[in-house]
Structure 1
Amino acid sequence: MRAALTRIERAARLDGAADQLQRRVWSTFRSQRVRDLLHGVWLGHPLHPALAQVPIGAWTSAAILDLLPGPRRPATVLVAVGVAAAVPAAAAGANDWAELSRDQRRVGLVHAAANAVGTVCYAGSLVARLAGRHRAGRTLGFLGLAAVNGGAYLGGHLAYKQAAGVNQGVPELHQMSDGWRPVADLAAIPEATLVTRKVDDVAVVVYRDGDEVTVMLERCAHQGGPLGSGEVARVDGRTCVICPWHGSTFELGGGEVIHGPAGTDQQVLPTRVIGGTLHTRLP
């Protein structure tokens, strides 16, 4: 399996289809509000993994009922629920996928194809069950379950091996030691300007607004972009930093994500000033 997944990651022949699909996703989800909704900005957590639990859970439950004697209606209802829930899950997944790096998009494309095959099988299963052909419906259901579980395996590879959808900045915290650490002389930090400093070799962004000072991790939560090179702007009435790579927008006061593609907040560190020196520590 490792060798097969590595081949998919390196399969440049998938790029043509992936690039075309990426453009279609962007043209479909043009509204920033819609993209933020599907990224899970409002939730502070990627939306796609949460939505995907509904069709997988419904279809797995239907498969268990198909193996047991008894009425067929409950399994049919669960198959229908899974087919309906697959639509918003696929929309959220496509929206996230379009913002990934090239090697991640290759695996994501195969992940989506497997789930599409599974959904088609379950749609056929639903039609067969409603027509009274329960044996055909069960067969198509088991085929669909095999396909979506293959897709789920690829989704796990995307998350755990390729780090798609996870907060890219948080692992930096593991390189910081406990206790308060000096960052800079407060007088040397200019007003309303992003400044990059190091704390235990971890890059942080420092922003001063009067007596309020923010220290946040410099690596963007989405794909590790350099927030220190980002733009400071007023967005929805809040002072924010905009990542120069993909446009993820975070409030400088508390790190809350305002606009995606990031689906999680940017990590902000506690601060204190002693003797004119700004200090920070692990949360």
Structure 2
Amino acid sequence: MDRPVNALSKAIRRRLGPSRLRDVLHGVPLGHPLHPAMAMVSAGCWIASAVLDVTRSDPRASRTLIATGVGMALPTATAGLADWSTLHREQQRVGFVHAIMNVTATGLYTGSLLMRMAGRERTGRALAFTGLGAVSVGAYLGGHMAYRQAAGANHAESVSHLVPLGWHDLCSLKDLPNGRPVRRRLGYIELFVLRLGDGVSVLADGCSHLAGPLHQGRVTVEDGDPCIVCPWHSSVFRISDGSVVHGPATAKQPAFRTRLRQDGVVQVRPAD
């Protein structure tokens, strides 16, 4: 599957590019991925229609639920493809089959709706139950991606509970290159450190998207604020507080407060 996966993911990334639309599809304004929440609408409608079919309840209600699920499938798939295009290859392989199953389910439910509208209720129910099987397999694979492969999860664990209270010595200011990010350790926690003049900004180093090393990223400016671009999938974070400027990341980077001792040693503590 690697050849079609590679071609499709490149085409999607090239088409979306860095844009406001891409951020919305990733769910940046919500603070978590958009696709799983939207998928619940289609899946919920189709499961509800199956209950109505089993109980032989109002056929019009079943048609309405199926039509709603089919109508939500396209925007749901669009958000899902945006997320999928920036995953690791192992995750993309599972996601590719996940997408195939969901496209199959959408086609079956579309056929079910057409059969019902033509008065062929029995055929429509048969197609719907087959579609429910397909969407169930797709949902299982989606759960595998989320809970076993950690696609869409926050990979930048909050570090406040891992650091003892108070200020902690990090390094000497003179040991930090000016304008170039570096990695430093606070105990066993790896930190992104950037010195700009006499000021020092510190974030957790592992990107919240898929744990990419932020210290290897590129420093840029967005709306007048210094930002760091993840070298793996180009998520952009504001250096001052770790907030997400551009996705695919949706969770902010844990940030640290800093101060400079009189002897030139930089001290840090987790930000409030």
TM-score by length of 2: 0.89
Alpha carbons of 1:246 and 1:27: their partners in 2 closer, same or farther (altered >3 Å)? closer
Are residue 194 (structure 1) and residue 181 (structure 2) matched? yes
Count of paired positions: 269
Structure 1 counterpart of 2:105, from 104, 118, 138: 118
TM-score by length of 1: 0.86
> Which secondary structure does the structure 1 equivalent of 2:106 belong to?
helix
- The ranges of structure 1 where at least 4 consecutive aligned residues each deviate by more than 6 angstroms after the TM superposition are none
2:256·2:268 contact (CA, 8 Å) conserved in 1?
Answer: no
Structure 2 counterpart of 1:179, from 161, 165, 168: 165
Distance 2:2 2:16 in 1: 21
Residue 42 of structure 2: aligned partner: 55
> Which secondary structure does the structure 1 equivalent of 2:28 belong to?
coil
Residue 98 of structure 1: aligned partner: 85
1:175·1:202 contact (CA, 8 Å) conserved in 2?
Answer: no
Residue 191 of structure 1 deviates from its aligned partner by: 5.4
Structure 2: which amino acid aligns with 1:176?
L
Residue 260 of structure 1: aligned partner: 247
Are residue 132 (structure 1) and residue 119 (structure 2) matched? yes
Residue 11 of structure 1: aligned partner: none
Alignment deviations for residues 209-264 of structure 1 (CA, whole Å, 9 cap, x no partner): 57764321001112211111212111233210111222110011211111122222
Residue 267 of structure 2: aligned partner: 278
> Which secondary structure does the structure 2 equivalent of 1:166 belong to?
coil
Residue 142 of structure 2: aligned partner: 155
Are residue 70 (structure 1) and residue 57 (structure 2) matched? yes
Residue 18 of structure 1 deviates from its aligned partner by: 1.0
Alpha carbons of 1:229 and 1:47: their partners in 2 closer, same or farther (altered >3 Å)? same
Distance 1:57 1:40 in 2: 20
2:28·2:244 contact (CA, 8 Å) conserved in 1?
Answer: yes
User: Bigger shift: 149-158 or 24-33?
Assistant: 24-33
Distance 2:258 2:49 in 1: 52
Structure 1: unaligned runs, 5 residues or longer: 1-13
Residue 201 of structure 2: aligned partner: 214
Structure 1: which amino acid aligns with 2:92?
R
Distance 1:245 1:191 in 2: 23
Structure 2: unaligned runs, 5 residues or longer: none
2:180·2:194 contact (CA, 8 Å) conserved in 1?
Answer: yes
Are residue 244 (structure 1) and residue 209 (structure 2) matched? no
Distance 2:40 2:130 in 1: 18
> Which secondary structure does the structure 1 equivalent of 2:149 belong to?
coil
User: Bigger shift: 272-281 or 70-79?
Assistant: 272-281
